C-alpha cells in the first residue's frame, strides 16, 4: 500500500469514527460529544479534499 492510499485510509477511518460518535452523542444526549463528532467529520472530509487536490495537481505537473 503506497503512502497516498494509507493517508486516505486513515482519513476514512477518522470519518467513520466521527460519524459513529454522532450516534453516541444522540444516545447520551451530549452536545459536547456531538460538537466533537461534527468537527471530526468536517476535518476528515476537508483534509481528504485538500490532499486529493494537492496530489492531483502534482500528478498533472509531471
Question: What's the whole-model pTM score?
Answer: 0.81
Per residue of the chain (62 residues), give pLDDT as tens.
788 889 999 999 999 999 999 999 999 999 999 999 999 999 999 999 999 998 888 776 66
Instruction: Give the start-to-end residue ranges of the domains of the chain.
Output: 3-56
What's residue 61's pLDDT? Answer: 64
Say how many CA atoms lie within 13 Å of 44 toward its Cβ: 19
Whole-angstrom distance, CA of residue 26 vs CA of residue 4? 34
Cell numbers standing for residue 24: 453516541
- Asked if 26 and 34 touch (Cβ cutoff 8 Å), the reply is yes
Amino acid at each position: 500500500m503506497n503512502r497516498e492510499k494509507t493517508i486516505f485510509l486513515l482519513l476514512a477511518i477518522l470519518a467513520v469514527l466521527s460519524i459513529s460518535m454522532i450516534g453516541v452523542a444522540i444516545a447520551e444526549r451530549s452536545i459536547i460529544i456531538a460538537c466533537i463528532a461534527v468537527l471530526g467529520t468536517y476535518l476528515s472530509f476537508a483534509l481528504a479534499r485538500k490532499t486529493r487536490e494537492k496530489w492531483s495537481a502534482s500528478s498533472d505537473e509531471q
